[in-house]
Amino acid sequence: MQSSVKIFSGTVSNYLALAIAKAAGKKLSEVSIQKFSDGEFQPVFKESVRGDHVFLVQSTCAPTDNLMELLMMIDAARRASAGYITAVIPYYGFARQDRKDRPRVSIASKLIANLLTEAGADRVMTMDLHAPQIQGFFDIPVDHLDSSAIFIPYIENLKLENFIFAAPDVGSTNRVREVASYFGAEMVICDKYRKKANEVGSMTVIGDVKGKNVILIDDICDTAGTLCKAASILMEKGALSVRAFCTHPVLSGKAYENVENSVLEKLVVCDTMPLKQQSDKIEVLTTAQLFAVAIKNTFENKSITSLFSHKPKLV
């Protein structure tokens, strides 16, 4: 008996799962999240998954209920005899805790990897991990998709002249260099010093941006403090304009206020997690087609290498 593809969604990523299923030519399968008065919940699949290749779409953004929901769906699918279980995690939460950068702290991203594997996931599909080496925390296959496949065509359509790329911090250097090399463009680095988490103490621009249209690229926009400060300094250094491209719109705290009051011309993000509010300065690009192709190729045992390149054909 041949297995079939079944795509299910957790609560927070339902909007994206619907788009992925549509792009894949599938109907989103139904799962019910039953809630109890004390806050406990229970995912229940409304159809058989026996022998099927099950794709569970859920970003593990705050609150942690979203992670627990995903773990319980994986466990339910395993206990219902699913043939193969892929956790599709557009935004992999806790990825910033990828090492012991000070004494007596958790390496939470490794813990999450262990939990997903122990719950019964056979494969993980995600996008733009904050630290690419997190792939090594897993003993199961990890498909690590690249948002540059979405951002590059958008940047090309802008038809900007005299543009240059900028890394908002040293940690983003490799990510930005790869995109800059595709365009044959130069790049600069904004070197920052943090007083504490989510608070930038000082920042220095390494490179010349005078008379340039600057494109900032990062994986996560949390409070938007780093991006907005970088944009301000770049304009002070003579930039003509500053646009920012960030994969995951965490946008917590005063992020929306910071973006609205910044010199940023536009903040372009992906739909890996839902926006909390709308803003004229924030534009959302969909990842649905990229994930749909990855899901299709995974099920058909085809290579997805083309999706890691900067300009894949999404067909």
Q: Where are the beta strands (DSSP E) in the chain?
A: 5-9, 31-35, 41-45, 53-57, 84-89, 123-127, 142-145, 163-167, 187-196, 199-206, 213-221, 241-249, 266-270, 282-285
pLDDT (0 to 100) of residue 312: 40
Question: b/e for 232-261, b at 16 or more Cβ within 10 A?
Answer: ebbbeeebbbbbbbbbbbbbeeebbebbbe
Q: Please, which contacts does 203-208 make with residues 24 or more away whose CB atoms are closer than 8 Å?
A: 203/229, 203/230, 203/233, 205/166, 205/233, 205/234, 205/237, 207/164, 207/166, 208/237
Residue type, 280: D
DSSP 98: -
> What pLDDT digit, counting tens, does each position of 148-182 carry?
999 999 999 999 999 999 999 888 899 999 999 99
Does residue 192 carry a catalytic annotation? Answer: yes
> What pLDDT digit, counting tens, does each position of 64-79 carry?
999 999 999 999 999 9
Q: Are 52 and 43 in contact (CB under 8 A)?
A: no
Token pair of 76 as six digits: 């339910």
Mean pLDDT rounded to a whole number for the chain: 93
Percentage of the chain modeled with pLDDT above 90: 88
Low-confidence ranges of the chain (pLDDT < 50): 198, 311-315
pLDDT (0 to 100) of residue 191: 85
Options 35, 46, 159, 192, the catalytic residue: 192
Token pair of 85 as six digits: 């279980």
Give all domains of the chain, ordered by start, each with its CATH number: 5-146+288-308 (3.40.50.2020), 148-285 (3.40.50.2020)
Token pair of 181 as six digits: 């090399």
Global pTM reads 0.93
